[in-house]
Structure 1
Amino acid sequence: MNRLSVILTLLSGALISGALVVAAFSMGYDSWWVLGGVALIGWLMAWPSALIVARRIKERGPEWSTHTKSGHKRSVYKPDSSNRQSGETDDHT
């Protein structure tokens, strides 16, 4: 599990649960048991769907790949830090 899939888990959980809540309300189900079940289903489906989406993003993006099409290993993409303005650092604290 990587950082991208953690962020996507939150997004996909909200999307799946929200869609199921709308579907349940439109069919006339409005009890707490139904909403609890919908929340549980959304929670259980969020992680696998986030992993699938993160894997697809990384497969399609050339910056994420560590191999070329010919199978040779290449260095991982890193942004060019020589274009920084003076005073900028990598510290994100």
Structure 2
Amino acid sequence: MDRLSLYLTLLSGSFITGAIVIAGFTLGYYSVWTVVIGAVAGFLFAWPTSYMISQRIKRQDPEWTPESDPDKQPAIQRPNAPEV
């Protein structure tokens, strides 16, 4: 897991939740279940979506180079550690 995907999780989760809730309201579903379904979907899809976005950003960045193997990283990153 990289730090960029952690920051993107908040953004993508709120975007997914908001999009589903707005789509539900637009279709005429004015109930609490519309909000609940949007929140659950946002929670479930936030991390995979943000991880894919993070990997795409890193692939397209010519200045970014991985400095170590991701499998050798500890579970909790040091604050000054290189990005994986």
* Pair in the same fold by TM > 0.5: yes
Aligned residues of 1:59 and 1:65 also touching (Cα < 8 A): no
Tell me what 2:47 maps to: 47
Aligned length: 67
Q: Within the alignment, does 1:13 sit opposite 2:13 as a pair?
A: yes
Paired with 2:3 and 2:37, the residues of 1 have a C-alpha distance of: 28
Tell me what 2:31 maps to: 31
Structure with the larger RCO, 1 or 2 (CA within 8 Å, 6+ apart): 2
TM-score scaled by structure 2?
0.74
Q: Following TM superposition, by how much is the alpha carbon of 1:37 offset from its aligned partner in structure 2, in angstroms?
A: 1.1
Indicate the structure (1 or 2) with the bigger Cα radius of gyration.
1
Q: Percent identity?
A: 48
Paired with 1:32 and 1:48, the residues of 2 have a C-alpha distance of: 26
Q: Following TM superposition, by how much is the alpha carbon of 1:65 offset from its aligned partner in structure 2, in angstroms?
A: 2.1
Instruction: Specify every segment of 5 or more residues in structure 2 that has no aligned partner in the other structure, as ranges.
Output: 68-84
Aligned residues of 1:16 and 1:42 also touching (Cα < 8 A): yes
TM-score scaled by structure 1?
0.67
Q: Displaced runs of 4+ in structure 1, greater than 2 A?
A: none
